[in-house]
Chains A and B, each alone.
Chain A
């Protein structure tokens, strides 16, 4: 019988991460779903020298790199879409604090796919012929780089393809709209590469905005793209993606997206941001207070809220969840 896996955010970071860990975020591109709060907790617990595997940058990588906690990163897209360049990551890359290895968005996804299959590599015809193939931040002396995306020959047709090394991150924190206490999860919106990552990573922690009864999963089993058997822990944390969005639950907090990114542009203002928005809260209640009632009210008035309607009757209350967390940590 599967067992409940609910634990606190602090316990998840404490138990599953250490300095230098190869850490992957399960997100929906740069400004959507992402367990940004997991990154805040990594910093609260002083984790550093991280090897970050982010299909795309998000405010989480922006924050972690801006705070100096990331030695190496591998990414497809490394900006913040319409919110502009990611100032924290940018500063870390420009100063040399973070080595950023560039791939494309498809390349990152198929590398996770390869990891899930336990294949050594996956062939593809993207990234070849460009400087993504020829330049390597991890092996800067190689030019053209031969160890990053080496060419291989299709044994059937003789065609040349790029070989993409598979990824099996040591630990992944995957943001989901809702999970049950056992670790079955439903993602609203694009899943991006969370499906592949949930099978590629060696340890998987779900960070869920809502916890629902397992009956919900039995009602919509086709939508459960992450089943409990690949999950190690479940963390309940409403507004886990803030200031980014979570389809069905809340929109992006435009003001904080901008002010956060502005703060991450310099060392000094980053320290202030850490003080105000990372080390400042002692509980989830404090965290909600930090976002502010007015903001929460505004961002939950989302055009996508109807997406949650089919699931609402199974949502567990905070008290029920708290009891399960106590049991899970015992």
Chain B
């Protein structure tokens, strides 16, 4: 046994686990923040030919100086090979069905992978629309990615309040009511393939589309994850431990995360 214990944060584990889902050569779109770090980590580490873009239509760029403040930030505009626009990136390359994979975040996610980033209400909204008690950021481009990308990775901190049986407001669709309900809408994209959290990885049951625990981290366990999930989280028969980040993976991630956004606990 190696007695040396690798030091990394839960957020770094989540970013690396997300990055591992990306394959070389894919056309990929990243949202702002952690998802961007996960995506550019993959490019730095194992997917050098990933074709990365942001929804603003920034192509060929690798962030400099740390986590960009936004997807149009100068930190990502400093070495781009092409600047276009929203219709191009979110329309021609995502809504068209060309984009293989997208990474989005969530304030709240439910057991069918539906995402709420719009607001927190006290109870149900009711028949008559009313303003939320706490207004969040809205859907942004995540709805477009959730509808159009071949598959979607959802990154979210694993806390009970974020894992609801049913989200109050669907900002970005997952599998809606589960089963084949997503198919009714004729979306171009396939829906979320994984919810990657600070505690583990959830994947949809192929038939019911209900998200189940697929894997946990070296520092987490099944009970801890279930107690942090506000629905009765089922466990896959082949549930397993996610391999620890390697030295090379951490090195690549920290090169992208120059300002240590993921190391703040």
Contacts and interface: CB of A to CB of B under 8 A. Distances in A.
A143 interface: yes
Contacts of B171: 102, 130-132
Contact of A81 (B33, B85, B87): B33
A125 interface: yes
B120 to A, nearest CB: 10
Determine chain B's interface SS by DSSP, over half rule: loop
A154 B173 CA distance: 22
Contacts of B70: 29-32, 80-82, 252
Contacts, number: 227
Interface string B70-108: 111111011000011111001100110000000000000
A276 to B, nearest CB: 23
A94 B69 contact: no
Nearest to A92: B135
B176 A125 contact: no
A239 to B, nearest CB: 14
B239 interface: no
Contacts of A252: 69-70, 73-74
Contacts of A193: 85-87
Given A131-B171, A188-B83, A304-B78, A140 B128 contact: yes
Contacts of B186: 125, 159-161
A192 B135 contact: no
Task: Give the interface size bracket for B toward A.
Answer: 35 or more
Nearest to A124: B95
A109 interface: yes
A81 B135 contact: no
B77 A104 contact: no
A56 B140 contact: yes
B265 interface: no
Nearest to B182: A129
A303 B74 contact: yes
A106 B130 CA distance: 24
Given A136-B129, A303-B75, A76 B83 contact: no
A106 B94 contact: yes
A254 B141 CA distance: 24
B86 A104 contact: no
18 contacts: A55-B86, A78-B138, A79-B138, A82-B67, A86-B137, A94-B133, A106-B141, A125-B186, A126-B147, A129-B176, A130-B139, A191-B85, A193-B86, A194-B85, A247-B77, A257-B69, A303-B64, A303-B74
Interface of B: 32-33, 54-58, 64-65, 67-75, 77-78, 83-87, 90-91, 94-95, 114, 118, 125, 127-144, 147-148, 169-173, 176, 182, 184-188
